[in-house]
Amino acid sequence: MSLKRILYAEDEPLIQAVAKLALEKVGGFEVLICSSGAEALEKIGVFAPDLVLLDVVMPGLDGPATLERLRADPATAATPVVFLTANALPTEVAHYRALGALDVVAKPFNPMTLAAQIQRIWDKTPA
């Protein structure tokens, strides 16, 4: 299956805009931006993304808590998740992977290479 639709939960409007532009214009993906983990959980069923990008630090439902809820729902339990975060020390990356994330992309990210990074992570995903 090819990667086409990405849901991205991020609370910072500037990062939302840069990531959406990078993923849509450079990567050719269809992207839905959500401003919180709760909004992502509300919209995931309708949008049906191939992949979910989650910021780790968000008010209310943070990235790890959102991932936990996604994994608890049979409809989204197998949806691949990647964290996009400034908290990318090796111990933190290991923790996010242990929670069930495919991988972690460090912020600040390069808008020109973000889509390729996400595609490489996707390409390593077991079918």
Q: Find the angle CA(24)-CA(21)-CA(38) to the nearest 5 degrees.
A: 85
Contacts 24+ apart (CB under 8 A), 91-98: 96/56, 96/64
119: part of which helix (H) or strand (E)?
helix 114-123
Write down the pTM of the prediction.
0.96
For domain 5-123, give the CATH superfamily.
Answer: Response regulator (3.40.50.2300)
Q: What is the pLDDT of residue 127?
A: 61
Is residue 126 scored above 80 in pLDDT? no
Please give the Cα distance from 95 to 93 (Å, whole number). 5
